[in-house]
């Protein structure tokens, strides 16, 4: 059984003039110790997907349907009180901006002890020892000193290390990291990603990494999901998707990277932009930007088809697979 299994998740935002659908039938699973990448551009719904796992989408957002099974129990149906026992304890989150998630008026030590004591009945001294141990694990220089420092006394990279240490405090099963290095410089980003990857391997923690950076996804994750306009359009092993993407959108995203083009040449570009939730196109949401779009794409939503180990929602890919099958049958 998978550690986390999300089935047909729908999330909506209740606004004036009707509901906006932010997630449409999201299904994926995460095994123990597995690292999963969640890729997409702004507005694709990747953060909503991550937040809704812990039922953290703020009003007017709500989960409209589907299940989030964590060790067989449905998080979507759980009471707030039960959820609180899981948040930060069994499933931890790391956010983009470490300055927003650390309390500026409390020392690092106080915040860490508070987090431990919220879930475990142990003395302050014991909690402090755990906090110190985690700060050592994230390789912060002079960890004892950091316990008594305030967030503003640390650099951006060090703050993000503290955030990772806090996520590890209660030995979670899953860490959900939402763009954990986007606010950091490249050299610091490389160090933080390396650290996160090593820790997840050492402690056998599952990682759900939300990012827009395909390079980071290929370095860190084993499987990946690509989201577009609230839907997963492609999911499968990371290497397979990066090397041979099936969905036209994923292909476009990869080919639009400057490193894919010859220096000085025009880059491959996907025309247009991600639709807003207020006017999602009918049929396949990608069809207005797609080179392969047909009448069928404009009217009906493609189902998932399997190509290799990758699941893709695209009529064009489905047709190609069908043609290949017929050719093979004709040959034999």
* Residues making contact with other proteins (CB under 8 A): 41-42, 155, 157-158, 185-191, 193-194, 197, 212-216, 218-220, 239, 242, 252-254, 256-259, 261, 263-264, 266-271, 273-274
Q: Which is nearer to other proteins, 106 or 188 (CB)?
A: 188
Q: Bridge-partner residues for 210, per DSSP?
A: 38, 178
Compute the least distance from the CB of residue 138 to other proteins, in Å.
15
CA distance 196 to 142: 19
3 and 30 Cβ atoms separated by less than 8 Å: yes
Distance between CA atoms of residues 12 and 253, nearest Å: 26
Beta carbon nearer to other proteins, 127 or 254: 254
Q: What is the 3-state secondary structure (H, E, C) of the chain?
A: CCCEEEEEEEEEEEECCEEEEEEEEEEEEECCCCEEEEECCCCCCHHHHHHHHCCCCCCCEEEEEEEEEECCEEHHHCCHHHHHHHECCCEEEECCCHHHHCCCCCCHHHHHHHHHHHHCCCCHHHHHHHHHHHHHHCCCCCHHHHHCCCHHHCCHHHHHHHHHHHHHCCCCCEEEEECCCCCCCHHHHHHHHHHHHHHHHHHCCEEEEEECCHHHHHHHCCEEEEEECCEEEEEEEHHHHHHCCCCHHHHHHHHCCHHHCCCCCCCCCCCCCCCCHHHCCCCCCCHHHCCCCCHHHHHCCCCEEEECCEEEECHHHHHHHHHHHHHHHHHC
Nearer to other proteins, 91 or 158 (CB): 158
If the CB atoms of residues 65 and 156 are measured against other proteins, the closer one turns out to be 156
**Is residue 80 a contact partner of residue 20, using CB atoms and an 8 Å limit?**
no
Nearer to other proteins, 31 or 191 (CB): 191
Q: Which is nearer to other proteins, 130 or 165 (CB)?
A: 165
Q: Please state the closest distance from residue 177 (CB atom) to other proteins, in A.
A: 15
User: At closest approach, how far in Å is the CB of 160 from other proteins?
Assistant: 12
Shortest reach from residue 81's CB to other proteins, in Å: 39
Closest separation in Å from C-beta 114 to other proteins: 27
Minimum Å gap between C-beta 235 and other proteins is: 18
Minimum CB–partner distance for residue 262 and other proteins (Å): 8
**Which C-beta is closer to other proteins: that of 216 or that of 305?**
216
Residue recorded with tokens 């953060």: 47
Q: How far is the CB of 52 from other proteins (least distance, A)?
A: 22
Residue closer to other proteins, measured from CB, 25 or 275: 275
Q: In angstroms, what is the minimal distance from the CB of 290 to other proteins?
A: 12
**∠ CA 21-24-27, rounded to 5°:** 150
**Nearest residue (CB) to other proteins, 171 versus 194:** 194
Lookup: tokens for 104: 């500026």
């Amino acid at each position: 059984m998978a550690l986390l299994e999300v089935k047909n998740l729908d999330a909506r935002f209740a606004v004036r003039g009707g509901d906006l659908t932010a997630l449409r039938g999201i299904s994926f699973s995460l095994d123990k110790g597995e690292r999963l990448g969640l890729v997409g551009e702004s507005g694709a719904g990747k953060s909503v997907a991550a937040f809704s796992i812990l039922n953290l989408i703020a009003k007017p957002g709500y989960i409209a349907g589907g299940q989030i099974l964590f060790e067989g129990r449905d998080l979507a149906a759980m009471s707030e009180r039960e959820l609180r026992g899981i948040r930060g304890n069994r499933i931890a989150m790391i956010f983009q901006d470490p300055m927003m998630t650390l309390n500026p008026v409390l020392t690092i030590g106080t915040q860490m002890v508070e987090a431990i004591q919220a879930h475990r009945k142990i003395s302050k001294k014991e909690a402090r020892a755990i906090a110190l141990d985690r700060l050592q694990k994230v390789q912060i220089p002079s960890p004892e000193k950091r316990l008594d420092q305030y967030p503003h006394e640390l650099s951006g990279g060090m703050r993000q290390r503290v955030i990772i240490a806090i996520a590890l405090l209660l030995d979670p099963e899953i860490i959900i990291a939402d763009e954990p290095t986007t606010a950091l410089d490249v050299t610091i980003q490389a160090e933080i990603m390396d650290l996160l990857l090593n820790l997840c391997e050492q402690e056998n923690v599952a990682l759900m990494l939300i990012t827009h950076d395909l390079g980071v996804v290929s370095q860190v994750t084993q499987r990946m999901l690509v989201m577009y306009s609230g839907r997963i359009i492609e999911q499968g092993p990371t290497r397979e998707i990066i090397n041979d993407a099936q969905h036209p959108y994923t292909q476009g995203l990869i080919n639009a990277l400057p490193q894919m083009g010859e220096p000085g040449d025009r880059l491959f570009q996907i025309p247009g932009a991600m639709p807003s939730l207020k006017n999602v196109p009918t049929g396949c949401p990608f069809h207005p930007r797609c080179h392969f779009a047909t009448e069928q794409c404009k009217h009906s939503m493609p189902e998932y088809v399997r190509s290799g180990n990758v699941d893709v929602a695209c009529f064009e890919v489905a047709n190609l697979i069908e043609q290949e099958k017929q050719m093979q049958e004709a040959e034999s």
